[in-house]
A and B are shown apart, each in its own frame.
Chain A
């Protein structure tokens, strides 16, 4: 305004052009043209979470899914695989809290998380689950290393399994329980994406650290998980529809997603073809599957930011909802 000239800016694009959406047969204005906004500013705030969070999604999933793998291997009598999985669970459980605490604006106040148990807050429940899981996984690994209390070890494994299942999936609920459209609207499929990524990571990690003759179940879990992860991601985008799936395909989220699919797919292929014969192939395939699972979490993370940043995702999806509600009211 320093040049003394101020023109009323038509910041709202009212031009409505015909276009079709979703191929639903209805001709509706294309979103960009129809969405009105306040100087193009976001309606929502972008999350303030930093790099620790997507890595935590990854390590939490790895830990959470390693627990049932350890228990199953133990019950099946495959002691070497059980041990690898136990250490996968312990490793993930040790790294996760560090990531979570370092993301806090006031890390010194982490313990305020433990002053309440709040069923409406997935983060509150998750903190408790992770804390208890770490204890159980730690005890399972310790009793294993020391070779003591075999019965107690199995008990701890059971507890870790019961807690590991929510640990591997609650992070999807955590992000879905926000106003960010591409997270909230994907609430039905995000847990599947996270759970399959967790299975893939746990399988891959255990397969890497287990001699190949004992690692077959881990390989199968890794391969199955990787394939399921690719499938679940596609399903999620399909259910979101063309418009809301867009943030998953653009910019950083899009790049990460492509990498995730390529790495998970290639890793699964390598593991299927050569995992049985060569440890090196298992390590290579496993590393690719792990990287794929990490990139997938990064893609989901970034897509949330991208959709919060652009008001059209919030406004248009809410407008659509209003339209269909009014239509339903008119008809009924």
Chain B
């Protein structure tokens, strides 16, 4: 397991089995097939997801570690960035959970009122630390899944979005399609990798590794509708306590539905999240309409070239 080179033993260019295709259990043919446009198996299983409550995140990175351990994600020893405690920088092929650290000159209201601030200089009192564990959003209408030309990305029976590594040919289309910069291609491997919401664990009725490892329950796993209810309750509680900064991100299906959503204490972009993500891939009319017009112009151009004579 320590040798990170052939990342998953047995996975090769020939398309042999991988972590989510444990021998004897699943092949592309036996995997659940969800028709395009259908979001999840509402009838069979509830849609599962993450609620990441950043207000109780303590920045311990247990989620990052647990994720790597369970999913056998290669470790990349990078450099110290000097950007607070964040040395993983962003989500990517080898980082499926990423803890962001933001240092701000702003008091935390509840702590201040309860007298929990450590006494110190004036400046110290004006300091707060925002920490948030980011992850793939397992979008309701996932652009990555829409654009994938091989069908490697698929919607599981839990409503999550997973890459089938035995099918991915590394075309890279999903990388710029994702509005959150989640997916990336692994250089030495040629395929894209991302959070699977621990598909294999879920199949065995276990919660994802990160959620289990989280000591403060900042990461909560469960049926999405229950999580949303919980999150709304938590938000109300925070607002009553005077934490006006608190807001939910990705909890509203009307805006941009996410299977993994967040409770944040500042604008999304402060955490590196897009403030108004959109499902770019569902604009068929404006995308293909423009191409049809251009194709028509091309025909007209060729015809016009012959209008002045055949030679």
Q: Is B71 an interface residue (CB 8 A)?
A: no
B104, B147, B304: the one contacting A123 at CB < 8 Å is: B147
B299 within 8 A of partner (CB): yes
In the complex, the chain A residue whose C-beta lies closest to that of B182 is: A45
* Cα of A159 to Cα of B102 in the assembled complex, Å: 58
Inter-chain contacts of A221 with B (CB < 8 A)? 301-302, 305
Q: Which residues from chain A contact B299 at a C-beta distance below 8 Å?
A: 68, 165
Q: Is A204's beta carbon under 8 Å from chain B?
A: no
- Does residue A172 face the partner (Cβ distance < 8 Å to B)? yes
B309 contacts the other chain (CB 8 A): yes
One digit per residue, 1 when the CB lies within 8 angstroms of any chain A CB and 0 when it does not, for chain B 270-311 equals 111111111011010011101101110111011111101111
Complex CA distance for A314 and B90, rounded to whole angstroms: 16
Interface string of A79-112 (1 = CB under 8 A from B): 0010000000000000000000001111111101
A136 beta carbon closer than 8 Å to chain B: no
Smallest CB-CB separation from A9: which chain B residue? B103
Smallest distance from the beta carbon of B250 to chain A beta carbons, Å?
14
Q: Which of B18-26, B57-65, B184-192, B241-249 forms contacts with chain A?
A: B184-192
B269 within 8 A of A: yes
Query: What is the bound-complex CA distance between A179 and B147, given in angstroms?
Result: 11
* A318 and B9 alpha carbons, distance in the complex (Å): 42
The answer to whether B294 touches A169, judged by C-beta atoms less than 8 angstroms apart, is yes
Question: Which A residues lie within 8 Å of B182 (CB)?
Answer: 45
Q: How far is the CA of A318 from the CA of B256 in the complex (A)?
A: 13
In the complex, which range does the number of interface residues on chain B fall in? Answer: 35 or more
> When chains A and B are docked, how far (Å) is the Cα of A314 from the Cα of B183?
17
B298 neighbours in A (Cβ, 8 Å) = 65, 68, 165, 168-169, 195-196, 198-199
Of A46-54, A254-262, A278-286, the one touching chain B: A46-54
Which secondary structure characterizes the binding site on chain A? helix
Within 8 A of B (CB), among A33-49: 35-39, 41-49
Q: Which of A222-249 contact B (CB under 8 A)?
A: 224-225, 228
Give bound CA distance, A73 to B311, whole Å: 9
Contact B169 A191 (CB under 8 A): no
Cβ of A115 within 8 Å of any chain B Cβ, yes or no, is: yes
Q: Does A10 contact B (CB under 8 A)?
A: yes
Task: Please provide the chain A residues from 266 to 321 with a CB less than 8 Å away from any CB of chain B in the complex.
Answer: 304, 308, 311, 314-315, 318-319, 321
> What is the CB-to-nearest-CB distance from B86 to chain A, in angstroms, rounded to a whole number?
8
Distance in angstroms from A326 CB to nearest chain B CB is 11
CB-CB under 8 A from B272, the residues of chain A are 37-39, 41, 43, 311
In the complex, A187→B100 CA distance in Å?
33
Check B70 for interface membership: any CB of A closer than 8 A: no
Kindly state the separation between the CA atoms of A40 and B222 in the bound complex, as whole angstroms. Answer: 33
Q: Is the CB of A118 within 8 A of B301?
A: no
What's the nearest-Cβ distance from chain B to residue A82, in Å? 10
Residues in A neighbouring B100, C-beta threshold 8 A: 38
Q: Which of B15, B269, B281 neighbours the largest number of chain A CB atoms within 10 Å of its CB?
A: B269
Known contacts A47-B175, A47-B176, A77-B310; decide if A315 and B305 are in contact (CB<8 Å).
Answer: no
User: In the complex, how many angstroms separate the beta carbon of A10 from the nearest chain B beta carbon?
Assistant: 7
Given A105-B185, A188-B286, do A195 and B311 touch, yes or no (CB 8 Å)? no
B171 at interface by CB-CB < 8 Å: yes
| Residue of chain A at shortest CB distance from B127 | A8
Q: Which residues of A contact B169 (CB under 8 A)?
A: 104-107, 109-110, 112-113
B47-55, B110-118, B149-157: which one contacts chain A?
B149-157
Contact flags (1/0) for A196-234 with B, using CB distance below 8 Å?
Answer: 101100010000000001111110110011001000000
- Across the interface, do A38 and B271 meet the contact criterion of CB distance under 8 Å? yes
A72 CB within 8 Å of chain B = yes
CB pair B183–A76 under 8 Å, yes or no, is no
| Interface presence of A144 (CB below 8 A) | no
Shortest CB–CB separation between residue B146 and chain A, in angstroms? 4
Type the 1/0 row for A140-153, where 1 means its CB is closer than 8 Å to any CB of B.
Answer: 00000000000000
CA A45 to CA B173, docked complex, whole Å = 11
Picked from A48, A76, A165, A304, the residue with its CB within 8 Å of the CB of B185 is A48
Asked if B46 CB lies within 8 Å of chain A CBs, one says: no
Residues of B within 8 A of A81 (CB): 311
Residues of A within 8 A of B89 (CB): 41
Whether the pair B310, A225 counts as a contact (CB closer than 8 A) is no
A12 interface hit (Cβ, 8 Å):
yes
Given the known inter-chain contacts A105-B190, A179-B177, please indicate yes or no for A187 contacting B269, CB distance below 8 A: no
Taking a contact as CB atoms under 8 Å apart, the answer to whether A2 and B80 are in contact is yes
**Is there an interface contact between A49 and B172, defined as CB atoms closer than 8 Å?**
yes
Contact of B290 with A187 in the complex, beta carbons under 8 Å: yes
The answer to the question of A15 belonging to the interface, with a C-beta cut-off of 8 Å to chain B, is no
Interface centre among A36, A105, A198 (most CB of B within 10 A): A105
CA distance in complex: A137, B154 (Å): 34
Query: Please, how many angstroms separate the alpha-carbon atoms of A166 and B295 in the complex?
Result: 7
B76 within 8 A of A: no
Pairwise interchain contact A9-B306, C-beta atoms closer than 8 A: no
B74 on the interface (CB 8 Å rule)?
A: no
A116-B150, A123-B173, A166-B291 known; A196-B270 Cβ under 8 A: no
Specify which of A44, A109, A217 is in contact with B311 (CB 8 Å cutoff): A217
Please state if B281 and A216 are interface contacts (CB–CB under 8 Å).
no
One of A11, A46, A107 near B83 (C-beta < 8 A):
A11
Contacts A105-B185, A224-B305 given; indicate if A172 touches B291 (C-beta within 8 A): yes
Contacts of A9 in B (CB 8 A): 83-84, 103
**Contact (Cβ within 8 A) B287 A39:** no
Please name 4 further chain A to chain B contacts, defined as beta carbons within 8 Å, in addition to the given A119-B36, A122-B287, A166-B291, sorted by A numbering: A106-B170, A116-B151, A170-B291, A315-B269
Sample of 8 A–B contacts (CB below 8 Å): A9-B83, A37-B272, A43-B269, A47-B172, A78-B311, A177-B147, A192-B290, A220-B305
Closest 9 pairs between A and B when the two form their complex, measured CB to CB: A105-B170, A105-B190, A38-B272, A191-B294, A109-B169, A76-B310, A195-B294, A124-B149, A8-B103
